Amino acid sequence: MTAALPALSVRSLGPFKVSAIGLGCMNLSHAYLPRPDPADAKRLLQHALDSGVTHFDTAALYGFGANERLLGEAIMHRRSTFTLASKCVLAEIDGKRGLNGSPDAIARVLEDSLRRLQTDHIDLYYLHRLDRNVPIEESVGALVRAREAGKIGAIGLSEMSAATLRRAQAIHPIAAMQTEYSPWTRNVEVAVLDACAELGAALVAFSPLARGMLAGGVGAQGFEPGDIRADMPRFQAQNLETNRALAARFAALANGAGLNAAQLSLTWTLSRGDHVIPIPGTTSIAHLDENLATLSLSVPQDLLDAVDHLLRPDAVAGARYARAAQAQVDTELCPGEQLI
């Protein structure tokens, strides 16, 4: 008989209590290379559930529905044991990535997601991006109607500004804002982090390991075409050497305290507020276990302060996104952040 694993600590995600570290599922089907074999991806999802993860995050965009199908096949038979989050607005349109925040498009994407996920209800449903051609009030209104119909539970936003959050909140309570947050991506500290705390919304931090940079996952050669990071300024030749040197210093801080770099990055992110919930992604069961072990670690404040000193917002070379990608992102820029 296998001994029961200790329960993971929990945080509030709207009306839900979820494991303080969730699982971002994107890289099992989308954006990063190499991608795992589907059988291995299913094993990882099932292992996460067995290990106490109760927050799984996907989206219609990821693999143009493949990621939702993966979750539907792998874990939906245990539907009552976890909080399911997905997203609309960004999705496949005529075989390409498309942005459509109109109420009709939202309703259509939701129906497709429910079918792929093999469920009739998504606990937390996000507007994945702001469609600047559609008032945020109209997009949120479509989610309110879906909630009234019992198809979704809580409503979230992703990669949006504090001003947009407040406009959305005036229509319906917003349970969560999902955006990138880690020691080396600090945009939310301009306004969104505090706005979420004020309004009672969770800050769901994607890429809390800096897209692999703060987990030792980025080599000197960068990334091959087809990996989303290849087009991000921080991972390109003119900035990569500087940023890898910063990451090496960060890893030295972690190792000196008996942690790995990923654990220090997660601990720092968790320390930014009780409303912050990181959702690191991984294709490795061993790395998943190491990430979850973070919740049992005690890290001194002086180490967290050293992280702040090392990775000031102006220390990282290059913008988070190139100009074309930033056009679909509503988050605030850090002071001095330059787009190319």
Residues labelled as active-site residues = 62
How far is Cα 144 from Cα 330, in angstroms, rounded to an integer? Answer: 21
> Among 267, 263, 303, 268, which Cα is nearest to 282's?
263
β-bridge partners, 335: none
Residue-wise DSSP of 65-104: GHHHHHHHHHTGGGGGGSEEEEEESEEEETTEEEE--SHH
What's the token pair of residue 156? 């979230």
How far is Cα 119 from Cα 114, in angstroms, rounded to an integer? Answer: 5
> DSSP class of residue 333?
P
> Among 25, 27, 6, 7, which Cα is nearest to 17's?
7
How far is Cα 84 from Cα 101, in angstroms, rounded to an integer? Answer: 21
> Among 118, 126, 139, 102, which Cα is nearest to 65's?
118
